[in-house]
Structure 1
């Protein structure tokens, strides 16, 4: 499955199969949350949060790809990510794009 952040595949004709998405809601670990709070006193990267968001993006992309594969897509184009805080200590990560079939 090709995953591209452009709206075409150079030199290929494509058929639009529709938008596909993957989403996940992750919550913070109490230990990571405490350590992040301590880190804000001295500054720097909040590694625990970085790792959590990277994992969430991977899960969201996998779910998006699964949805594209169910449509028999060859690629997902124009991929975008979004995130939002749903409640104290939980965030949603969304991956979405356009599933396409490459015409041979």
Structure 2
């Protein structure tokens, strides 16, 4: 499965199949949430939240790819990510793109 954020795949002719997406909502353990809150007092990277968002993006991407595979896609173009806070310490990540099949 080829994944790109462009509207083409070099050297390939494409047939559009459908929009595909994947999403997840992730939260951190309350203990890590408290420690991260304390970290905001002194500044610096909030490692627990970075890890949470990296994991959320990976899960959402995997779900999008699974949806594309079910449609018989060879790739997904125009991939975009979006995030939103659901509640304190929890975030939704959604990824979407256009599933395509190679032709010719």
Q: What's the TM-score once normalised by structure 2's chain length?
A: 0.96
C-alpha distance after superposition, 1:50-74 (max 9, x if no partner): 0000000000000000000000000
Structure 1 SS opposite 2:72: coil
- CA distance, structure 1, for counterparts of residue 11 and residue 62 of structure 2: 27
C-alpha distance after superposition, 1:24-59 (max 9, x if no partner): 011121011011011011100000000000000000
Q: Which shifted more, 85-94 or 44-53?
A: 85-94
- CA distance, structure 1, for counterparts of residue 89 and residue 11 of structure 2: 45
- Give the equivalent residue in structure 2 for 1:8: 8
- Give the equivalent residue in structure 2 for 1:29: 29
- CA distance, structure 2, for counterparts of residue 48 and residue 56 of structure 1: 12
- Give the equivalent residue in structure 2 for 1:60: 60
Structure 2 SS opposite 1:38: helix
* Unpaired segments ≥5 residues, structure 1: none
- Give the equivalent residue in structure 2 for 1:88: 88
Q: What's the TM-score once normalised by structure 1's chain length?
A: 0.96
User: How many residues are matched?
Assistant: 104
- CA distance, structure 2, for counterparts of residue 62 and residue 92 of structure 1: 15
Per the TM alignment, residue 12 of structure 1 is displaced from its structure 2 partner at its CA by 1.6
* Unpaired segments ≥5 residues, structure 2: none
Q: Which runs of 4+ in 1 moved over 4 A?
A: none
Per the TM alignment, residue 16 of structure 1 is displaced from its structure 2 partner at its CA by 0.2
